[in-house]
């Protein structure tokens, strides 16, 4: 396992075999510390008890830098991009054609970090850059005047 660099999980099991899958998955990732790329195929997450994307993100260790995953809910993309900020790239595969999703996600992401992307009918690939610093709001003249008044009265 120490030489493994990419791991692909494909759903070919019966649904009743899934309850312990997340536990085995975490054990596997802990042993395979050289794995930098994870690929989830065929709605693997939907059939496990990790169907909540927040829970899924908590299972992904920091040594994972590249993720490829099927997505059926647009907000799950935001959760992944927010929670897994150690990723260098992510590819979202859409279960069905989602014309507006890539544009919405890229617009949302562009306010948070630098990124380059590529899209087609069923995928959105994003190469992630640095997080953007939050800009401090400039104070209005009225706010500065109020600050001065507070200083004088003290």
Task: Please state which of the ranges 8-12, 13-17, 83-87, 96-100 shows the lowest mean pLDDT.
Answer: 13-17
pLDDT at 15 over 70: no
28-49, pLDDT tens digit by residue? 777 777 888 988 876 655 555 4
Token readout for 140 is 């209005």
- Say what the pLDDT of residue 11 is: 61
Can you give the pLDDT at residue 39?
87
Q: What is the pLDDT at residue 12?
A: 59
- Closest Cα partner for 66 from 48, 78, 82, 84? 84
Model pTM score: 0.73
Does the pLDDT of residue 128 top 60, yes or no? yes
The tens digit of pLDDT for each residue in 59-82 reads: 888 989 999 998 888 899 999 999
What is the rounded CA–CA span in Å between residue 89 and residue 99? 21
Cα–Cα distances in Å, from 98 out to 46, 90, 93, 119?
19, 17, 10, 11
The dihedrals phi and psi of 121, each to the nearest 5 degrees, come to: -60, -35
Q: Is the pLDDT of residue 117 over 80?
A: yes
Count of alpha carbons within 13 Å of 144, Cβ hemisphere only?
5
Q: How confident is the model at residue 132 (pLDDT cuts 50, 70, 90)?
A: confident
The structural domains of the chain, with segments of one domain joined by +, span: 6-153
Sheet strands (E) in the chain: 6-10, 37-41, 66-71, 89-94, 113-119, 123-131
């Amino acid at each position: 396992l120490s030489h493994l660099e990419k791991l692909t999980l494909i759903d070919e099991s019966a649904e009743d075999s899934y309850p312990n899958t997340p536990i085995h998955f975490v054990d596997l990732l802990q042993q395979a510390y050289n794995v930098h790329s994870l690929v989830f195929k065929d709605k693997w997450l939907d059939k496990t008890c990790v169907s909540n994307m927040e829970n899924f993100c908590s299972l992904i260790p920091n040594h994972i830098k590249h993720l490829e995953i099927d997505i059926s809910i647009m907000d799950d993309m935001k959760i992944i991009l927010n929670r897994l900020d150690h990723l260098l790239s992510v590819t979202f595969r859409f279960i069905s054609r989602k014309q507006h999703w890539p544009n919405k996600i890229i617009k949302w992401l562009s306010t948070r970090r630098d990124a380059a992307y590529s899209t087609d009918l069923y995928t959105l690939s994003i190469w992630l850059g640095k997080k953007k610093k939050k800009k401090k709001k400039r104070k209005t003249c009225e706010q500065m005047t109020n600050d001065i008044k507070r200083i004088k009265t003290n």
